[in-house]
Amino acid sequence: MAIATNDAGESLKDPQFSTTIERADGLIIVTPQYNHGYPGLLKHVLDTCLKE
């Protein structure tokens, strides 16, 4: 099995969730604090779905 080293988690991206997030005018997230920040998995999901 070949693993792409530059895909940055794109293969795990949910197309329906990504489309919904891209069409949204805003996003409110309520999550518990983890080491004075938000959880790493949440950061990864947002990084792969949102354009800067």
- Which long-range contacts does 33-40 make (Cβ < 8 Å, 24+ apart)? none
Q: Please report which confidence band the pLDDT of residue 41 belongs to, taking 50, 70 and 90 as the band edges.
A: confident
Domain ranges of the chain: 10-49
Output the pTM of the full model.
0.56
Kindly state the percentage of the chain with pLDDT values over 90: 4
Over range 17-37, report the average pLDDT: 86
Give the pLDDT confidence score for residue 28 in this predicted structure. Answer: 92
From CA 8, how far away is CA 20, in angstroms rounded? Answer: 20
From CA 33, how far away is CA 24, in angstroms rounded? Answer: 24
Instruction: Kindly tell me the sign of the dihedral angle through the C-alpha atoms of 31, 32, 36, 41.
Output: negative
